[in-house]
Structure 1
């Protein structure tokens, strides 16, 4: 059985989600070929197993359409899912992100997903120096009031801008990178969101697959790496403290997992789910290969000694620095240079 969480009980009483969410980014471009029929059948297997919450985005190429096709192919199962998508205006469109543009993207998501109302729309704004993000959220709130959106959230905002937006628009959730490698949410965001009853939806839990037995005892990989996820999270490992400290962390996670009959990824995910304020963890999956193992996370609990052993390693980490997504926003920096900023315009 997969744990469930009531998200934003004051805003939408009774709306629950599975605490493990099926991520959609790995079904978008840059992660290998996708067999559409198999991807749709895999979605059915996740729902039947109790993972009913799906994470996607307007700019994850083809993923909203895949979920819409799943809903058409499996109508009974399709009615059981919670769909969390995103509104991410292109970087080049920020200066002209008007009401018509916002509504056109939301209407497109509704059509792609084949729904009348989006369960959760998570908003991102690439550049804080460009004004308009509060106004864009105001338009989304108007669409919520009109019945096109159930709940609103953010994705990849730091604490200060989350405070600013929350003062203007009711927020149910914020999606941020949070893992044993990345504790940036603990620098103010967790405390604020707990006080405001804003649930944390966490990605990067498995660091694109680095947090697994496959990398234990292996030499540090060199570029080019196999896919976009590995490229992204290798940078996080470097900021965390380097390959040596990462190997030490993998060893501790493996030892804890062996005591519970679990693997490294399952322990790493349980660690995130047990952090204060966390509503759910997004598990990127291109297949059902790890589905049975993911279901074991529900019963996994770290005892005090195991937690202390893990904390001792984490106390040695040196980063990543700053607040949530701050280093990724620097287009000239190591993290920012690998981003794709204009995926909604249809040319990428």
Structure 2
């Protein structure tokens, strides 16, 4: 670890960014800081630099952070950031921060997932993040052909009732299975890929979310950077990228 990082001391340093209500009493900055790129699976990551960047995002008014239990080391980095923020600004500074993590059970365990398994995963995230209650848990299910996603959602609801989770959301669910989960438990949000190149979620999925009171979080809105001036005038890169996410966005361009 490096030396002690400098943290914004109070609200006066924070730029105003529009906030949106996910549910009554729960709002987040309209821009959410993503965390997948901080996983070691996507290239070298310097922990001190990652935490320092989080400080700068908060000072710029971005006070919501997205992560996942399967993003190697990311929950720990956010936990370290939160601990430093509390030391610098106390609970008032910490209360301005929202962390949205994901519960992603192991693919091989889907068919035999129990409440005890789900609780162990949630407890692990609580420990890494240094939280008593998770703000929002976004649930992912690898394979709908394997039964169990409804029971897993019920288990998350049980943990919400126990006070370990505030809100439950989903990530990368389709319309049919989102409806199924909405019939099972209270789903606050759904995270979906959406951009000028990929508008699939704007049809039936968005209509269902509106009818059921589910807030939508869009990721990939700049198609991994392809919809920025960084690629203006550059030659076609083909599919030779450093991580699979860029390959995914490149394939979306092919389909557009």
Give the equivalent residue in structure 2 for 1:3: 18
TM superposition shift of 1:229: 2.4
Aligned match of 2:69 in 58, 64, 75? 58
> How far apart in 2 are the matches of 1:30 and 1:91?
18
**Unaligned regions of 5+ residues in structure 1, if any?**
241-348
Does 1:163 pair with 2:179? yes
CA contact (8 A) 1:2 1:19 kept: yes
Aligned match of 1:209 in 225, 231, 248? 225
> How far apart in 1 are the matches of 2:58 and 2:244?
27
> Could you list the per-position Cα deviations for residues 255-291 of structure 1 after superposition, in whole angstroms to 9, with x for gaps in the alignment?
xxxxxxxxxxxxxxxxxxxxxxxxxxxxxxxxxxxxx
For normalisation by structure 1, the TM-score amounts to 0.66
> How far apart in 1 are the matches of 2:98 and 2:136?
8
Alignment of 1:30-179 (within 5 A): 30-75=41-86, 76=89, 77-179=93-195
> How far apart in 2 are the matches of 1:219 and 1:38?
31
CA contact (8 A) 1:22 1:53 kept: yes
Alignment of 1:215-230 (within 5 A): 215-230=231-246
* SS state at 1:152 partner: strand
TM superposition shift of 1:48: 1.6
> How far apart in 1 are the matches of 2:176 and 2:239?
35
> Could you list the per-position Cα deviations for residues 6-41 of structure 1 after superposition, in whole angstroms to 9, with x for gaps in the alignment?
1122xxxx1111110000001113432111111111
Does 1:191 pair with 2:207? yes
Give the equivalent residue in structure 1 for 2:248: 232
> How far apart in 2 are the matches of 1:164 and 1:219?
44
CA contact (8 A) 2:104 2:139 kept: yes
> Could you list the per-position Cα deviations for residues 191-242 of structure 1 after superposition, in whole angstroms to 9, with x for gaps in the alignment?
11111111001111111111111212322212321333211211111111xx
CA contact (8 A) 1:30 1:228 kept: no
* SS state at 2:33 partner: strand
> How far apart in 2 are the matches of 1:237 and 1:224?
15
> How far apart in 2 are the matches of 1:155 and 1:123?
6
**Unaligned regions of 5+ residues in structure 2, if any?**
1-15
Aligned CA-pair RMSD: 1.1
Q: Larger relative contact order (C-alpha < 8 A, sep ≥ 6)?
A: 1
> How far apart in 2 are the matches of 1:90 and 1:204?
24
CA contact (8 A) 2:69 2:103 kept: yes
> How far apart in 1 are the matches of 2:205 and 2:151?
22
* SS state at 1:7 partner: strand
CA contact (8 A) 1:70 1:78 kept: no
> How far apart in 2 are the matches of 1:39 and 1:106?
23
